[in-house]
Amino acid sequence: MIFYVIRRLLAAIPTLLAVLTLVFVIVRIVPGDPAVAILGDRATPDAVAAMQHRLGLDKPVWAQYLDFMGHSLRGDFGTSMVTGRPILQDVGAVLPHTMDLTIASMLVGTLLGVPAGVVAALHRNRWIDVTARMLSLVGLSFPVFVSGVFMLLAFALHWRLFPVIGNANLDDPIDRLDKLVLPALTLGITMAAYITRVTRSSMLQVLGEDYMRTARAKGVPWRRVVWRHGLRNAGLPVVTVVGLYVGILIGNSVLTEIVFNRPGLGKIIVGALNQRDYTMLQGLMTIYCFLIVVVNLVTDLTYGLIDPRVKQA
Amino acid sequence: MRRFVKRMMANPTTSIGVVLCALIVLAAVLAPYISPFDPLDQNIIDKLKPPSTTYWLGTDAYGRDVLSRVLWGARISLVVSVASIGAALLVGGAIGMVSGYVGGRVDLFIMQVMDVLLSFPSLILGLIVVALLGPELVNLIFAISLTAVAPFARIARAPVLSLKERAFVEAGRALGFSHIRVLFVHILPNILSEVLVMASLWMATAVRTEASLSFIGLGVKPPIATWGGMMRDGFDAILDAPWLSIFPGIAILMLVLGLNMVGDGLRDATDPKLSGS
């Protein structure tokens, strides 16, 4: 197991380096000089030169590249051009809100999606399966900002069950939960739709396997065969897919945060876009990519943990 | 082919999907003839009017007719999704096919690059590309196609790996056909159905991405009517005029759902084994 972990860790390094390189390239191909963008068109050449020096833009490109890679790998994602604060500090301040939302929506997605997928697979082509498939297709088709606005209209404005403003007081658990329900449902339902589909098709494959028949033949109750033997094997692709979903989840959480006016990474990134805060964008993109590479790694490791055969491959 | 269409339409999901998409396409094509008002015409006296017999879907904060704007908005959604997925299909498909056909180190390198592209969260990538290049229609199409190139490369590559070992490829080469001819005349038809199924599902994603970017404020510039942009206007007036966000929201949902249904139906029809999976 240890060797497997080390091998996976080593394999993630080139990907991470390549991703960081791409971030660097994307930010560099921006038309216009960031120094001019910060100071405005009427800045004196001296001021522009000073700003270029401060941002390290007067160095040759390869030196900038090495600087960027070195800093990123040491966990230094730079400082915001607008506020002058370290990017990690701004990100850290909203992190609890983002974590709340991510974890809660993953819970909603799994708790709704996995049972729905299993039940649908067990009743293939019957009404319950058709309904589950239809609902998951509708769920997948809702852009989250549309479902978010609809949720807001229904549950916050029409029935007044939940608050509209989402800036939760972190020290007050009731308030924190109250303001989490609608955003977490919005994100979670989309995710549940996705998980239902994957669980269903994965379960359908497993149901036809020999070991399922064997377990049943030796007298294990059908319920237990399905949930223990079946789900355990069907769970593997589900884990992978949930891991791959993280990229979509990031985009969706940005939209959810905007709709429910929650503090979070999404609001920071939109603010940075509006203010043309290039260093902030570069830092955020780096953090997101780190996150995705790490999640992919964890997914791979979980895979190895659930299925011992993977380790040998 | 006729059997294929028949099999596809026998599935009620697909027929509903086709109808939904057809409605939106009709709305887009006929917008200039069936819109009751000019989508850009402001009429301040009639601002924020709820749905009525004059304004079927109400009016917005500038007194513009919501129905006319929803009809015209279909054009942007369709143009952006068709163009961006078309581009991603051509570029990504070609990259994937050539990469799989050539194989070896070239293949390894290209696929590594595609993997890197896949590690970017697609909405964030689109957001940044549009923000940096400016909110123009062309940039929007470029940004969305960029997020879809890698998946198309992957889906086109996988079958080529096994197809290139098959006898008909060898036969083609033995007859003196060039690699290009073998690849595009003999291998391409075999992978086309899979790639087209992907395209319809990705069209749905493209519609969603375009609407999301417009909602954030990075879509085609106002006053041009886009569904995402209308949702944004509606969101600003959510307390006074819920119809402003409800109707464009339903329009987006109709198109995305329709495309997803067609995609599912296409997949089932091309691969009966997977039926309903």
Answer for the pair A292, B121: CB distance below 8 angstroms, yes or no: yes
**A255–B215 CB contact, under 8 Å:** yes
Q: What are phi and psi of A79, to 5 degrees?
A: -120, 150
How far apart are the C-alpha atoms of A259 and A149, rounded to whole Å?
Answer: 7
- How many CB atoms lie under 10 A from the CB of residue A177? 13
Instruction: Give the up-direction half-sphere exposure of residue A150: CA atoms within 13 A in the CB hemisphere.
Output: 18
- How many CB atoms lie under 10 A from the CB of residue A92? 10
Across the strands, what pairs with B65? B59
Contacts of B218 in chain A (CB under 8 A): 273
| CB-defined contacts A:B, below 8 A | 127
How far apart are the C-alpha atoms of A114 and A125, rounded to whole Å?
Answer: 18
Q: What is the DSSP letter of B36?
A: S
Q: Tell me which chain A residue has its CA closest to the CA of residue B215.
A: A145
A273 touches chain B (CB under 8 A): yes
In this complex, which of B121, B128, B246 lies closest to A292 when CB atoms are compared?
Answer: B121
How far apart are the C-alpha atoms of B141 and B153, rounded to whole Å?
Answer: 18
The rounded mean pLDDT for chain A is: 82
Cβ neighbours for A111, distance < 8 A, ≥ 6 positions apart: A192
Q: Quick one: pLDDT band at residue A62, thresholds 50, 70, 90?
A: confident
Burial B163-194 (b: 16+ CB within 10 A, else e): bbeeeebeebeeeeeeeeebbeebbbeebeeb
How far apart are the C-alpha atoms of A264 and A94, rounded to whole Å?
Answer: 5
A14 touches chain B (CB under 8 A): yes
Residues in A 176-195 with any Cβ partner in B closer than 8 A: none
How far apart are the C-alpha atoms of A129 and A101, rounded to whole Å?
Answer: 30
pLDDT of residue B1: 62
Q: Tell me which chain B residue has its CA closest to the CA of residue A265.
A: B124
Contacts of B238 in chain A (CB under 8 A): 149, 152-153, 157
pLDDT of residue B94: 93
In this complex, which of A30, A124, A140 lies closest to B260 when CB atoms are compared?
Answer: A140
A194-231 per-position pLDDT tens digit: 999 989 988 888 888 888 888 888 888 888 888 888 88
- % of chain A exceeding 70 in pLDDT: 93
Residue type, B242: P
| pLDDT above 80: residue A64 | yes
pLDDT of residue B272: 54
pLDDT of residue B275: 45
pLDDT of residue A309: 66
| pLDDT above 90: residue A248 | no
pTM, rounded to two decimals = 0.88
Q: Tell me which chain A residue has its CA closest to the CA of residue B234.
A: A149
Q: Quick one: pLDDT band at residue A313, thresholds 50, 70, 90?
A: very low
A221 touches chain B (CB under 8 A): no
Cβ neighbours for A162, distance < 8 A, ≥ 6 positions apart: A155, A156, A178, A179, A181, A182
Answer for the pair B158, B76: CB distance below 8 angstroms, yes or no: no
Q: Quick one: pLDDT band at residue A87, thresholds 50, 70, 90?
A: confident
Residues in A 118-137 with any Cβ partner in B closer than 8 A: 124-125, 129, 133-134, 137
Of A48 and A138, which is predicted with more confidence?
A: A138
Cβ neighbours for B218, distance < 8 A, ≥ 6 positions apart: A273, B127, B130, B131, B135
Cis peptide before B223 (omega within 30 of 0): yes
Of A65 and A33, which is predicted with more confidence?
A: A65
In this complex, which of B13, B122, B128 lies closest to A247 when CB atoms are compared?
Answer: B122
B20 touches chain A (CB under 8 A): no
Answer for the pair A265, A98: CB distance below 8 angstroms, yes or no: yes
- Of B178, B224, B183, B192, residue with least CA distance to B40: B224
Contacts of B260 in chain A (CB under 8 A): 137, 140-141
Chain A nearest-CA distance from B90, in A, is 23
- Of A133, A204, A38, residue with least CA distance to A212: A204
| pLDDT above 70: residue A32 | no
How far apart are the C-alpha atoms of A114 and B102, rounded to whole Å?
Answer: 41
Q: Tell me which chain B residue has its CA closest to the CA of residue A12.
A: B116
For B183, the token pair is 């690849």
Answer for the pair A170, A96: CB distance below 8 angstroms, yes or no: yes
In this prediction, the residues of chain B whose per-residue pLDDT falls under 50 are: 274-277
pLDDT of residue A81: 76
In this complex, which of A18, A145, A246 lies closest to B215 when CB atoms are compared?
Answer: A145
Q: Quick one: pLDDT band at residue A308, thresholds 50, 70, 90?
A: low
| pLDDT above 80: residue A172 | no
The rounded mean pLDDT for chain B is: 86
| pLDDT above 90: residue A279 | no
A124-167 per-position pLDDT tens digit: 889 999 899 989 999 999 999 999 999 989 888 888 887 776 66
Residues in A 243-262 with any Cβ partner in B closer than 8 A: 246-248, 250-252, 254-255, 258-259
Burial of B160 (0-12, 13-18, 19+ CB in 10 A): buried
Give the best residue of A19, A145, A157, A204 to mutate against chain B (max B CB count within 10 A): A145
B10 touches chain A (CB under 8 A): no
In this complex, which of B13, B124, B235 lies closest to A288 when CB atoms are compared?
Answer: B124
Chain B nearest-CA distance from A125, in A, is 8
Angle at B72 between CA B69 and CA B74, to 5 degrees: 110
Of A114 and B121, which is predicted with more confidence?
A: A114
pLDDT of residue B87: 96
